[in-house]
């Protein structure tokens, strides 16, 4: 069995983060308005969600912060198989989390720009200009890289035999399901299914992390050569 190198306190912290992070991630998605449409439509959506959008922004930032120690704790164990896949997925997930934090800063500005007291025509032009900047592209790509990272992480955990197999499948398919269902079903259905998989998978891993123990090193008693008595 793969066992974590973490202390009991560290395991409980990691387990708590593995529960809180996906819950906050789902809350951020449901509290935030849709990110599709023209700049004018997006500003209208932000203005209409002026009460919930800030909560979604805070939830998203907290989710990114909690995912970091949670994922670190999950992979703090020897893995005979799947280590490379899991670490590749972890790298992509961390990039996506950092991109989400950076986008959070932009969203704070967009919320201010959506204020009805602002000059809407000027704000639409500014919004359009900002979203066309080259630096925004890599940040927006973080969402897709997170989906790929979750898939690789799930495959690595599956091959490594970490926790229940269904949890690895749930984590791995969470991002793919969101993209696939989004093409054939309403966005709400895709969000509910994908976030359900994400939450279920990581809660199962939180249970695994919290219940395991550190590997023990067997201590062998010192052996002394038997003394021999020479009889004349």
pLDDT in tens, 116-163: 888 888 998 988 888 888 888 888 888 889 999 999 999 999 999 888
Asked, for residue 100, whether it belongs to a domain, the answer is yes
* Rounded-to-integer distance, Cα 208 and Cα 187, Å: 32
Structural domain harbouring 63 = 8-143+206-211
227 pLDDT above the threshold of 50: no
91 pLDDT above the threshold of 70: yes
56-71: average pLDDT: 94
Asked, for residue 230, whether it belongs to a domain, the answer is no
> Lowest-pLDDT range, 2-6, 73-77, 85-89, 157-161?
2-6
Asked, for residue 44, whether it belongs to a domain, the answer is yes
- Residue 66 has a pLDDT of 96
Asked, for residue 66, whether it belongs to a domain, the answer is yes
Q: How many domains does the structure of the chain reveal?
A: 1
3-state secondary structure 9-63: HHHHHHHHHHHHHHHHHHHHHHHCCCCCCCHHHHHHHHHHCCCCHHHHHHHHHHH
94 pLDDT above the threshold of 80: yes
Asked, for residue 221, whether it belongs to a domain, the answer is no
52-59: average pLDDT: 92
Are the beta carbons of 223 and 18 closer than 8 angstroms?
no
Asked, for residue 139, whether it belongs to a domain, the answer is yes
- Buried b or exposed e, range 107-146, using 16+ CB within 10 angstroms: beebbebbeeeeebeebbebbeeeeeeeeeeebeebbebb
Asked, for residue 79, whether it belongs to a domain, the answer is yes
Asked, for residue 195, whether it belongs to a domain, the answer is no
* Rounded-to-integer distance, Cα 123 and Cα 53, Å: 18
pLDDT in tens, 159-212: 998 889 999 999 999 988 887 887 777 888 888 999 999 999 999 999 999 887
107 pLDDT above the threshold of 70: yes
């Amino acid at each position: 069995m793969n066992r974590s190198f973490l202390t009991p306190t560290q395991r409980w912290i990691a387990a708590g983060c593995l529960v809180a992070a996906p819950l906050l991630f789902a809350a951020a998605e449901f509290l935030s308005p849709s990110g599709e449409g023209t700049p004018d439509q997006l500003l209208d959506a932000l203005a209409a969600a002026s009460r919930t959008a800030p909560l979604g922004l805070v939830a998203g930032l907290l989710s990114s912060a909690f995912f970091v120690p949670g994922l670190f704790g999950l992979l703090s164990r020897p893995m005979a198989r799947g280590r490379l896949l899991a670490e590749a997925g972890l790298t992509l997930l961390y990039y996506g989390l950092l991109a989400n934090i950076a986008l959070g800063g932009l969203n704070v500005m967009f919320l201010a720009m959506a204020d009805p007291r602002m000059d809407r025509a000027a704000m639409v032009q500014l919004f359009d200009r900002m979203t066309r900047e080259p630096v925004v592209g890599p940040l927006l790509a973080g969402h897709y890289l997170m989906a790929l990272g979750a898939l690789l992480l799930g495959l690595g955990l599956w091959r490594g035999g970490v926790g229940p197999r269904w949890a690895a499948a749930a984590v791995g398919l969470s991002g793919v399901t969101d993209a696939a269902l989004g093409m054939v079903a309403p966005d709400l259905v895709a969000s509910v299914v994908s976030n359900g998989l994400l939450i279920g998978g990581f809660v199962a891993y939180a249970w695994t992390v919290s219940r395991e123990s550190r590997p023990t090193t067997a201590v062998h008693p010192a052996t002394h050569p038997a003394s021999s008595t020479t009889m004349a």
